[in-house]
Amino acid sequence: MARRKIGLIGAGNIGGELANLAVSRELGDVVLFDIPAKENFAKGKALDLEQATALSGADAKVTGTSNWADLAGTDVLIITAGIPRKPGQSRDDLVETNLPIIRNVADNAKKHCPDAFVIVISNPLDAMVYEYKRRTGAPRAKVVGMAGVLDSARFALFLAREANASVKDVRAMVLGGHGDDMVPILSHTTINGIPVQKLVSKEALDKMIDRTRKGGGEIVTLMGTSAYYAPAISAIEMAEAYLGDQKRVLPCAALLEGEYGYSDLYMGVPVVIGAGGAERIVALDLTAEEKGMLAKSAESVQKVRDLVKSKA
């Protein structure tokens, strides 16, 4: 079988780490795409990564380009094109800059790699992935957004540290929009099957929930730009689930068509990812409190979606 092809739109901080992980896991050959002004930068990064394979032993080609024709035949397309947050900005503040970019990317991807499984990372995530799907008309199983895996990972790390447990044993689930009112689902968060409330006090949990919600912002404040290692590995887990038909249950932004009581909305829900893409949305029994928090989060996501829809 020919090697799979991973297309990365945006060769910046997340794009570079995505390429690094895709190569080291030998997911396939990697095409690192950026705008013409950054073509040499993309080519340089690709060359650096490819030279590293002579030492790591990974069999993968890495190409840098600003030519969409090089994306033909892409199996997985991961989109980070856009401007990241600066200190003091919310994700929603990025609509003005990132909306024209996602539209440009959608038009080109539709033309050059219409069959790819697409993972959007650009912020504001839920609105950008919505716009990508609307603009391309691709099947909903083929277009998802990366947010829940990252938000859940952040929550899982804080829980592991607080409970003095291994990160391997923590199963955390964060759903809803990728914003300050994302919803940690405590009823489905365990330390190796043990309900988290048995091991961690309510006070500590509340603090960790707050820190998770502001987790991206904490890093923006420290670094002056947004996170990239954890976002990249989150998307790679999703890509690998698709390429390996792993049927993993991962929290992803998926198009809701009645699930959880919402329609025409991309929002974080548990999704089975396999060779069919987003094969199934899993319905969880949420507590009344969780449903309430999800409704609040959905309201915020709907506002940004409506803003995006209103802009011609």
Show the binding pattern over residues 220-259: x = contacts ligand APR (CB under 6 A), - = does not: -----xx-x--x----------------------------
Show the binding pattern over residues 194-223: x = contacts ligand APR (CB under 6 A), - = does not: ------------------------------
User: For the chain, where are the E strands, in sequence order?
Assistant: 5-9, 29-33, 62-65, 76-79, 117-120, 143-145, 170-171, 174-175, 183-184, 190-191, 194-195, 248-257, 263-274, 277-281
Q: Annotated catalytic residue: which of 178, 188, 213, 305? A: 178
The position carrying tokens 């539709």 is: 110
Which whole-number Å values give the CA distances from 193 to 172, 185, 187, 188, 199, in the listed order?
Answer: 11, 14, 11, 9, 11
Q: Which is nearer to ligand APR, 214 or 280 (CB)?
A: 214
**Ramachandran assignment for 88, one of left (phi > 0), alpha (psi -120 to 50 degrees), beta (any other):** left
**C-beta of residue 134 within 8 angstroms of C-beta of residue 102:** no
Give the number of other CB atoms < 10 A from CB of residue 107: 13
Q: Which is nearer to ligand APR, 12 or 277 (CB)?
A: 12
**C-beta of residue 166 within 8 angstroms of C-beta of residue 142:** no
Least distance (Å) between residue 190 CB and ligand APR? 28
Least distance (Å) between residue 79 CB and ligand APR? 8
Segment lying near ligand APR (by CB under 6 A), choices 30-38, 169-177, 254-262, 290-298: 30-38
| Near ligand APR in 35-74, by CB under 6 A | 35, 38
Count interface residues toward ligand APR (CB under 6 A).
28
Q: Is 112 annotated in the active site?
A: no
Q: Give the residue, chosen from 5, 6, 7, 13, that forms a contact with ligand APR under the rule CB under 6 A.
A: 13
Q: Which is nearer to ligand APR, 42 or 157 (CB)?
A: 42
In the chain, the N- to C-terminal Cα span, in Å, equals 43
Q: Give the residue, chosen from 9, 78, 144, 273, that forms a contact with ligand APR under the rule CB under 6 A.
A: 9
* Token pair recorded at residue 44: 């340089």
Q: Distance between CA atoms of 254 and 129, rounded to whole angstroms?
A: 9
Contact status: 95 vs ligand APR (CB under 6 A): no
Segment lying near ligand APR (by CB under 6 A), choices 78-86, 134-142, 185-193, 257-265: 78-86
- Percent of residues in the chain assigned helix, strand, coil, to nearest 5: 50, 20, 30
Residue positions annotated with a catalytic role? 178
Residues that bind ligand APR in the complex, under the rule CB under 6 A: 9-15, 33-35, 38, 80-82, 84-85, 94, 98, 101, 104-105, 121-123, 225-226, 228, 231
